[in-house]
A and B are shown apart, each in its own frame.
Chain A
Amino acid sequence: MKKEFRVIADLLPKNIRVLDVGCGDGSLMSHLIKEKNIEARGLEIIEENVKKCIYKGLSVIEGNAETELHQFPTKSFDFVILSQTLQAFYNPEKVLKDLLRIGKSVIISIPNFGYWKVRTSLLFFGKMPVTKTLPNSWYDTPNLHMCTIKDFFDFCIEKKININKVVGVNEESTSEIKKSNLEIKNLFSKVGIFLLK
């Protein structure tokens, strides 16, 4: 399982209700059900992935998070998870608002555009970065609103969204990000995981 999923799983208490937005083939949901006895539901846009979830006996709704989050009642989940997709929405702010409405807490992970390899690609080679976390070229990337961990940090403060915890993930390790180490972690983390309330 992806390191990012392990970090997310560690942030979650046992026996709760979780909505995984953009749940893919359901590997995170399966893990949460098995390890934490979590009641997990998914929302997924890709038909093939929806079927994979159904075959595994997972509860998944085929749909687009950009337009179909309204179907979930307010505070109907303990946690809502959105893994590395916020940047792909036309209106990420609206989606985030909806997530905060549906969940008592929200976990959001973002691919960090402030990661040093991304920065050097642009600085030294003058080219849009292509990395493991950002595998697409500029012309076929689904990412419309790339941001850095620092950007998202500032965004939450500006919008008065309560940041409970931030974890930075890179190849070697995971570490907590605080205001005091934000500059350095923003340089060395590939992915940032935010726990919001």
Chain B
Amino acid sequence: MSEKIKRLNISKSILLDCKQTVKDFSLAYETYGKLNKDKDNAILVFHALTGDQYVSGTNPITNKDGWWVTAVGPGKAIDTNKYFVICANVIGGCMGSWGPKEINKKTNEPYGLNFPVITIKDMVKAQETLLDHLGIKKLLCATGGSMGGMQLLQFCATFPNRTFSAVPIACSTNHSAQNIALNELARQAIMADPVWEKGKYYKKNIQPKNGLAVARMVGHISYLSEKGMQEKFGRKLQEKADYEFSFDADFQVESYLRHQGFAFVERFDANSILYITRAMDYFDLSKQFKGGLVEAFKNQKTKFLVISFSSDWLYTTKENKDTVIALNSAGADVSFAEIKTDKGHDSFLVNEPEFLKTLKGFIDSMHIKFKNRKNEKRI
């Protein structure tokens, strides 16, 4: 199964935020569409917490749809007939990139908790090498929602000239106390599972399924809105006429959470959740620059479109607007749109027509500008 995964071996040394220097590790990635001659149609997508490199089409490992088929594919908002779409699995992940379940060459055992604690910046540094490998100097656009958006903001701050435009979606420049708390809940659920054994469960070829499933359930609650959840489930019972006076899943919402939780353990590694959520919690762009956010976004030539969703309580419109204010203060070129929807944080992943139209409209108009700009340079 792993031969289906495209991997780049990163041979140059990268200094991680935890001060460890690493090299010769793998970054799994996938591409869609074709890079044109002028190389002006490349779009980099950063995935969220539980995503992977399989943005569109069918994920060859799970045989399910790619995680962003609603937005990426032939004829979609990010049209792969027109654009060359790139996505890499973050380091710390579990879809072929260097992560806690991979074998540590020094010990010949899976890393487990010996894997270094990585950050959003480390993830982004690794992915930048992929652009070099693919021969792309400047992207037409880079985008991502949630943790993908956080990676994008980091990418723009660390590599200010690598993308012509950027669409950070439903994200923030630092993780709020509420989001850290929810992540801690997920981690505690995993670590409380006796199977976890301080991350050494690989030896027995098992997963701390119960803990990981609970972690996923927490996530799923936070991705919906109160109204959306009420409309979808209400107090409806799961294929039964009345309460069963037991602790089985009587309610549809319970059944939904259990299903989501236990489907997740089939495709995701528990230790990866620990590492990636930690990276999100440590994310604070203003802390990295002495002058704060204004310094982080200084000299940006990138054209930004920040998008938020009205019912998102994980990364609220206010937080997204704070990013806009920071970009404005730094004199960056920034647009902002709030999509009115009941679908909560999940809005960017589901079929939300107003969002998809806005995304398409922006990227298409940026493509025209990017081409014109390149032509002007040639003259």
Contacts and interface: CB of A to CB of B under 8 A. Distances in A.
B366 interface: yes
Contacts of A53: 335
A57 B365 contact: yes
Given A53-B335, A55-B361, A57-B365, 10 more contacts: A41-B333, A47-B340, A51-B354, A58-B335, A59-B303, A59-B333, A61-B335, A62-B336, A62-B337, A71-B325
A71 B335 contact: no
Contacts of A58: 335
Given A55-B365, A57-B368, A57-B369, A47 B328 contact: no
Interface in B330-372: 331, 333-338, 340, 354, 357-358, 361-362, 364-366, 368-369
Given A54-B305, A72-B328, A63 B336 contact: yes
Nearest to B336: A61
B90 interface: no
Nearest to B326: A71
Contacts of A178: none
Contacts of A76: 328, 331
B294 to A, nearest CB: 9
B329 interface: yes
Interface centre among A62, A63, A76 (most CB of B within 10 A): A62
Interface of B is mostly: helix
A61 B361 contact: no
Nearest to B304: A59
A63 B366 CA distance: 22
Contacts of B333: 41, 59
Nearest to A43: B336
27 contacts: A47-B337, A50-B337, A51-B357, A51-B361, A53-B335, A54-B305, A54-B337, A54-B361, A54-B362, A55-B361, A55-B362, A55-B365, A56-B365, A57-B366, A57-B368, A57-B369, A58-B335, A59-B303, A59-B333, A59-B334, A60-B335, A60-B336, A61-B328, A62-B338, A63-B336, A71-B321, A71-B329
B85 interface: no
A135 interface: no
A56 B368 CA distance: 10
Return the 8 tightest CB-CB contacts between A and B, nearest first.
A57-B365, A55-B361, A71-B325, A61-B336, A59-B335, A62-B337, A54-B362, A60-B335
Interface in A23-61: 41, 47, 50-51, 53-61
A54 B334 contact: no
B369 A73 contact: no
Interface of A: 41, 47, 50-51, 53-63, 71-73, 76
Contacts of A41: 333
Given A47-B340, A59-B303, A54 B335 contact: yes
Contacts, number: 57
B324 interface: yes
Interface in B277-329: 303, 305, 321, 324-325, 328-329
A188 B168 CA distance: 50
Contacts of A59: 303, 333-335
A44 B148 CA distance: 27
B314 to A, nearest CB: 20
Contacts of A61: 324, 328, 334-336
A54 B358 contact: yes
Contacts of B337: 47, 50-51, 54, 62
A76 B364 CA distance: 29
A58 B361 CA distance: 11
A165 B324 CA distance: 34
B324 A71 contact: yes
Contacts of B331: 73, 76
Nearest to A57: B365
Interface in B48-90: none
Nearest to B338: A62
B361 A71 contact: no
Nearest to A42: B335
A61 B337 CA distance: 7
Contact of B358 (A51, A57, A71, A72): A51
